[in-house]
Amino acid sequence: MAGDSDATAPERPAPLVDGEAGAAGKGGIANLAAFGGPPAFSEPLHVGRPNVGDRNRLLGRINDLLDRKWLTNNGAYVQELERKIEDFVGVKHCVAMCNATIALEIASRAAGLTGEVIVPSFTFIATAHCLQWQEITPVFCDVDSRTHNLDPARVEQLITPRTTGIIGVHVWGRPCDTDALEDIARRRGLKLLFDAAHAFGCSHQGRMIGGFGDAEVFSFHATKFFNTFEGGAVVTDDDELAAKMRLMKNFGFAGYDNVIYIGTNGKMTEVAAAMGLTGLEDLHQFVAVNRANYEEYRRQLAGLPGVSWICYDETEKCNYQYVVLEVDEEVTHIGRDDILNILIAENVLARRYFYPGCHRMEPYRSYFPHAGLLLPETERLTKRVLVLPTGTAVGPDEIRQICQIIRFAVSRGAEVRLRLAEQSKALFPII
């Protein structure tokens, strides 16, 4: 990669230092793609490459549903998927839906949430929007810097007479402190829901995630560990809640010509359920790939000063869907965003989930302009976290290369940062 003699290649500045020849296969800073070198990968490497089960079984199911001419509205595949998920998670009810955002809206409405609901800001925007969409105020609570999940002590401080519930998020598939949150909810008479969008296939205290709180919501979006193209589900042991959600996801119809509730269209299609049924059969393979990637990343980045990663509890079931680094700029002398820019230039499309935090996005930043003052850990994390490509998009070779680039950028942190700053000054001289 370093010594490309192609005359049509853009002229590159001379390497600053060659002492690290071979690191990242780059030979020198100037050969990083951000500074004009050729990218390490010709095709982009994505964070959320979909896990797809056996293609022939999927196509067989699609042919079958086309033959049956039953495409949606609680079809046979949706019902089969719901029963299989109930068994897998160990809950009484699974209500499949078109995506997790609608599922969160329906679950929170069916659970009777109103007024204020306590949620983390360190989450995907859907957790907050599902409330605000219904004119319920999301009250942003800080997270524990170690777990990245809601800090129960801070939850308790935010309860007011208007609070009706808490939505915890099992970020990266790692469980919230369910005992503490269940205790608060019980003592304070609050509903407790979990946004388990990341946590399908994960367990906590030996029980599958999905069985905690009043209800839990999974996302089956294409980028998730287990996907139905788009999709989601609410799982619960509460018969009444499940019955309400079944009505709500189907406009409130209790039978032909009989609407007994306000509802919406939250139904999952048959083709989505076919994808889900097929994926369920291959979950163990998805976990194996994710786990191997996670371990390879850990091996390759071990001992890199200022770079730590979130760990999964090996005594529990984990889906290992996210490989998440934290960059401590004081040690690396190069910020998370600079590392991200270096990676993107190399065609490694890492992501900085959940930057900048829900509280810094609209409409919340206008509603609560000073929310950040109460969210110091969230603010800190949103500047440090970097999510790396995994899943079937990458294997050991790609991971080794990605890690070499990160190691190289960190080992020359101050220099790389300076060069990036100079470059952006040249590009945007007025700023």
**Which residues lie near ligand T4K (CB under 6 A)?**
46-50, 99-101, 123-124, 126-127, 169, 195, 197-198, 219, 221-223, 232, 349, 353
Token couple for 279: 């994926």
Q: Let me know how many helices (H) and strands (E) the chain has, helices first.
A: 15, 16
Beta carbon of residue 188, minimum distance to ligand T4K (angstroms, whole number): 24
Task: Name which of 23 and 349 has its Cβ closer to ligand T4K.
Answer: 349
Task: Name which of 99 and 163 has its Cβ closer to ligand T4K.
Answer: 99
Beta carbon of residue 390, minimum distance to ligand T4K (angstroms, whole number): 11
Please state the φ and ψ torsions of residue 13, each to the nearest 5 degrees.
-65, 155
Which letter, b or e, does each residue of 69-104 get, where b requires 16 or more Cβ atoms within 10 Å of its Cβ? eeebebbebbebbbebbbebbebebbbbbbbbbbbb
Q: Is the dihedral of CA 259, 261, 262, 266 positive or negative?
A: negative
Beta carbon of residue 232, minimum distance to ligand T4K (angstroms, whole number): 5
Task: Name which of 45 and 241 has its Cβ closer to ligand T4K.
Answer: 45
d(CA 264, CA 247): 9
Which residue's Cβ lies closest to ligand T4K? 48
d(CA 241, CA 5): 67
Beta carbon of residue 93, minimum distance to ligand T4K (angstroms, whole number): 19
The H or E element that residue 93 is part of is: strand 93-97
Beta carbon of residue 410, minimum distance to ligand T4K (angstroms, whole number): 23
Residues whose CB is less than 8 angstroms from the CB of residue 221 and which lie 6 or more positions away in sequence, other chains included: 99, 100, 197, 227, 230, 231, 232
Task: Name which of 224 and 419 has its Cβ closer to ligand T4K.
Answer: 224
Beta carbon of residue 104, minimum distance to ligand T4K (angstroms, whole number): 6
List the beta bridge partners of residue 179.
Answer: none
Task: Name which of 31 and 228 has its Cβ closer to ligand T4K.
Answer: 228
Task: Name which of 139 and 348 has its Cβ closer to ligand T4K.
Answer: 348
